[in-house]
Amino acid sequence: MKSSTTKITFLAIYRFLDKVSPLDQDCGQLCGAACCTCGSQTDSCDLCDEDDFGIYLLPGEDKVFDRKEDWIGWEKNRAEDYEFPDSWHGTIYFLHCKTAPCCPREKRPLQCRFFPLAPHLDEEDVLHIVYQDGELTYDCPLISQKIPLNEDFIHATYTVWKHLIRDPLLYDLVVLDSDFRIEEHGDEIEYLYP
Ligand code: SF4
Ligand code: SF4
Please work out whether the CB of residue 55 comes within 6 Å of at least one atom of ligand 2: yes
* Segment 51-69 mean pLDDT: 92
Atom of ligand 1 nearest to the CA of 33: 5
* Dist. CA 147 → ligand 2 center (Å): 21
Please report which helix (H) or strand (E) contains residue 91, including its range: strand 91-97
Q: What is the pLDDT of residue 135?
A: 83
Per-residue pLDDT tens digits for 37-52: 876 654 444 445 556 6
Q: What is the pLDDT of residue 134?
A: 84
Q: List residues bridging with 76 in a β-sheet.
A: 93
Helix axis angle, 7-18 relative to 151-164, nearest 10°? 170
Please work out whether the CB of residue 34 comes within 6 Å of at least one atom of ligand 2: no
Atom of ligand 1 nearest to the CA of 23: 6
CA distance 33 to 140: 9
User: What does the angle CA 127 – CA 14 – CA 78 come to, to the nearest 5 degrees?
Assistant: 75
Please work out whether the CB of residue 35 comes within 6 Å of at least one atom of ligand 1: yes
Per-residue pLDDT tens digits for 93-110: 999 999 988 999 999 999
**Which ligand is nearest the CA of 108, by number?**
2
| Of 153, 167, 134, 156, nearest in space to 63 by CA | 167
User: Is it true that the peptide bond before 85 is cis, omega within 30 degrees of 0?
Assistant: no
Per-residue pLDDT tens digits for 136-186: 889 999 999 999 999 999 999 999 999 999 999 999 999 999 999 999 998
Q: What is the DSSP string of 96-141?
A: EETTTT---GGG--HHHHHTTEEEEE-TT--EEEEE--S--SS--H
